């Protein structure tokens, strides 16, 4: 049986440089980054991508106090996506809605906060919060969204390191095709900037970016790149089966064309370009396309010296020199690495290209690393192109998880 | 500490743990749960904040004493006064 066609019908997001798709896109086309300095416990001032959405737009003060930042970001993005989709939410059967949220990690923020809290009381654990367990369970971000929305269908997170944003979308498409739900709210989120551990961990790996100018700190493909800018963020979509979306006259942003997920099985942290290339090739094959049919490749590149080169190696192996209509960009150069939200946010930033035929550039490339000099790289200035019918989005993560998602212009 | 001062201490805590609530007309003799959106976790918050801010311990068997502002004042005022007598 032919699988159902799955379409994107709503987008809700918060990024360090925008709290709606329109604002985010405008800043990507205007070269506006969203990195700032932030005081990190034990570490002092660090570079970070901080979101400035209005949490009280969709939550009570008590929900914000009791819940987590990850839960708050999830609620904001879910509510914004639903509003954008124009679904009649009051009439929607809530038991037929699934919430599938990718996250890199969850619980570190709250655990660190509690340890810091009890340190003020001589480490007496009777001062440990009774909210610790509901805040740190791995399903917390999706659970908070289900509470806020009254969704009684399945709501859970998908732990997939920094590939998680794509995984949220992929898993949702699978669940829609299986008939498990009729509407999926899916994507990825991250609260990681609120844990010192992630900054300290990257610093110990010599993989934490430094730069005098925050806006220039995240610089994939540049010779002077020196690591990751840690960011928070979220992007959730509404996904529906095509027939359901058409029946209610929904705006369709794109159709899920293909995807693939695989594992390196080679190292805890070092990427594996052979497996990455296999993942990209398989996603293109499963979409019924060839590499030359891909018009935008949004890279995962995080601005680590080695990781960028390895992804470029994988892309070169798949696309070679024979894909003149393939344009390659990177969104982390604006917003840093939004971890579990990265894949979902970076896809969203490119979706408007189906309408405006503009490929947003990779900014901050003052001196292109020859090892990253791919044909088709869009550097520093937006590029108006003749055709954008397909977008391929790479998201890779630690422990060697690779994900590639392809969306295509919707054509009935 | 007077009983009224004790009620003020409890209300200050509730203002922090239930920031959406209007506390201007809380009735002293009515159960807090019957006039405010408070759940069992919120009462644990009250217990925790009494511990953190005022070094007052409320054993689980005595949670029922926190039902209303009047019962809070009745139960907690001697504890506050015993603490201040010690210090």
- What is the pLDDT confidence band of residue A3, given thresholds at 50, 70 and 90? confident
Residues of chain A in Cβ contact (below 8 Å) with chain B: 60-62, 65-66, 121, 126-127, 129-131
Strand-pairing partners, residue A49, are A35, A231
* Helix, strand, coil percentages for chain B (3-state, nearest 5): 70, 0, 30
Whose CA is closest to A74, among A184, A186, A181, A229?
Answer: A186
Q: What's the gap in Å between the CA of A269 and the closest CA on chain B? A: 40
- Positions of A marked catalytic: 162, 300, 337
Beta strands in A119-224 (DSSP E): 155-159, 183-190
Whose CA is closest to B48, among A164, A127, A17, A103?
Answer: A127
pTM of this prediction?
0.97
Q: How far apart are CA A342 and CA A163, in angstroms?
A: 8
- Quickly tell me which residue has 């990507």 as its tokens: A28
Mutation choice for A interface testing from B36, B38, B45 by most A CBs within 10 A: B45
- What is the pLDDT confidence band of residue A288, given thresholds at 50, 70 and 90? very high
Question: pLDDT tens for residues B34-48?
Answer: 999 999 999 999 999
pLDDT > 70 in chain A, percent:
100
Q: What is the DSSP letter of A13?
A: E
Sorted by where each starts, the structural domains of chain A and their CATH numbers stand as: 6-247 (3.40.47.10), 258-406 (3.40.47.10)
Position A2 scores a pLDDT of: 79
Contacts 24+ apart (CB under 8 A), B71-76: B72/B6, B72/B7, B72/B10, B73/B3, B73/B4, B73/B6, B73/B7, B73/B10, B73/B28, B74/B3, B76/B6, B76/B9, B76/B10, B76/B50
Question: Is the Cβ pair B18, A130 closer than 8 Å?
Answer: no
Q: How far apart are CA A339 and CA A111, in angstroms?
A: 19
Q: Which residues contact A359 (CB under 8 A, 6 or more apart)?
A: A296, A327, A329, A350, A353, A378, A382, A383, A385, A388
Q: How far apart are CA A337 and CA A340, in angstroms?
A: 9
Sorted by where each starts, the structural domains of chain B and their CATH numbers stand as: 3-86 (1.10.1200.10)
- What is the pLDDT confidence band of residue A338, given thresholds at 50, 70 and 90? very high
Q: Which of B19, B48, B51 sits opposite A61 (nearest CB)?
A: B19
Question: Is the Cβ pair B41, A127 closer than 8 Å?
Answer: no
Name the pairing type of β-strands A296-298 and A390-397.
Answer: parallel
Q: How far apart are CA A42 and CA A64, in angstroms?
A: 25
Q: How far apart are CA A41 and CA A52, in angstroms?
A: 20
pLDDT > 90 in chain A, percent:
99
Question: Is the Cβ pair A62, B37 closer than 8 Å?
Answer: yes
Which chain A residue is nearest to residue B48, measuring alpha carbons? A127
Least confident interval from A157-161, A297-301, B80-84: B80-84
Asked whether the predicted pLDDT for residue B86 surpasses 90, the reply is: no
User: Is the ipTM above a cut-off of 0.90?
Assistant: yes
- 3-state secondary structure (DSSP) of residue A328: strand
Question: pLDDT tens for residues A91-109?
Answer: 999 999 999 999 999 999 9
Question: Is the Cβ pair A130, B41 closer than 8 Å?
Answer: yes
Q: What's the gap in Å between the CA of B78 and the closest CA on chain A? A: 23
Position A207 scores a pLDDT of: 96
Q: Which residues contact A139 (CB under 8 A, 6 or more apart)?
A: A155, A156, A157
- What is the pLDDT confidence band of residue A130, given thresholds at 50, 70 and 90? very high
Question: Is the Cβ pair A126, B44 closer than 8 Å?
Answer: no
Q: How far apart are CA A51 and CA A94, in angstroms?
A: 29
Q: What's the gap in Å between the CA of A24 and the closest CA on chain B? A: 31
Question: pLDDT tens for residues A367-392?
Answer: 999 999 999 999 999 999 999 999 99
Question: pLDDT tens for residues A38-93?
Answer: 999 999 999 999 999 999 999 999 999 999 999 999 999 999 999 999 999 999 99
Question: Is the Cβ pair B52, A131 closer than 8 Å?
Answer: no
Q: What is the rounded average pLDDT of the residues A345-364?
A: 98
Which chain A residue is nearest to residue B51, measuring alpha carbons? A127
């Amino acid at each position: 049986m032919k699988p159902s066609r799955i379409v994107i019908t709503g987008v809700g997001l918060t990024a360090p440089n925008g709290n709606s798709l329109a604002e985010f896109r405008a800043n990507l086309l205007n070269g506006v980054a969203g990195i700032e300095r932030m005081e990190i416990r034990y570490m002092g001032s660090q570079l970070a991508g901080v979101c400035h959405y209005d949490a009280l737009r969709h939550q009570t003060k008590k929900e914000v106090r009791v819940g987590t930042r990850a839960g708050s970001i999830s609620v904001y993005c879910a509510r914004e996506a639903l509003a954008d989709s124009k679904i009649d939410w009051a009439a929607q059967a809530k038991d037929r809605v699934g919430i599938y949220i990718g996250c890199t990690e969850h619980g570190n923020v709250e655990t660190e906060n509690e340890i810091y809290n009890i340190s003020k009381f001589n480490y007496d654990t009777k001062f440990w919060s009774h909210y610790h367990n509901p805040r740190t369970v791995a399903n917390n971000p999706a659970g908070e969204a289900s509470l806020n929305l009254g969704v009684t269908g399945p709501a859970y997170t998908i732990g997939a390191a920094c590939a998680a944003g794509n995984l949220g979308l992929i898993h949702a498409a699978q669940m829609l095709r299986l008939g498990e739900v009729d509407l999926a709210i899916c994507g990825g989120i991250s609260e990681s900037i609120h844990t010192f551990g992630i900054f300290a961990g990257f610093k110990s790996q010599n993989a934490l970016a430094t730069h005098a100018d925050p806006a220039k700190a995240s610089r994939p493909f540049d010779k002077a790149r020196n690591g990751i800018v840690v960011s928070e963020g979220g992007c959730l979509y509404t996904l529906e089966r095509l027939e359901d979306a058409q029946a209610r006259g929904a705006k369709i942003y794109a159709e899920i064309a293909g995807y693939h997920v695989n594992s390196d099985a080679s190292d805890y942290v070092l990427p594996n370009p052979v497996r990455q290339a296999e993942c990209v090739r398989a996603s293109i094959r499963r979409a019924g396309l060839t590499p030359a049919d891909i018009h935008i490749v949004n890279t995962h590149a995080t601005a680590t010296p080695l990781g960028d080169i390895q992804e470029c190696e994988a892309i070169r192996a798949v696309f070679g020199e024979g894909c003149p209509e393939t344009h390659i960009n990177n969104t982390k150069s604006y917003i840093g690495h939004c971890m579990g939200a990265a894949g979902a946010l970076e896809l969203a930033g490119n979706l408007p290209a189906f309408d405006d035929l503009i490929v947003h550039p990779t900014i901050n490339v003052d001196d292109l690393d020859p090892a990253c000099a791919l044909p088709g790289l869009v550097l520093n200035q937006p590029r108006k192109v003749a055709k954008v019918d397909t977008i391929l989005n790479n998201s890779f993560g630690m422990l060697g998880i690779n994900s590639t998602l392809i969306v295509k212009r919707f054509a009935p | 500490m007077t009983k009224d001062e004790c009620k003020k201490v409890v209300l200050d805590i509730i203002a922090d743990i239930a920031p959406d609530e209007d506390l201007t007309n809380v009735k002293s003799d009515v159960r807090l749960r019957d006039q405010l959106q408070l759940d069992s976790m919120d009462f644990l918050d009250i217990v925790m904040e009494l511990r953190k801010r005022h070094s007052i311990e409320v054993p689980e068997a005595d949670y029922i004493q926190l039902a209303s502002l009047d019962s809070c004042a009745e139960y907690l005022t001697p504890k506050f006064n015993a603490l201040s007598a010690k210090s």
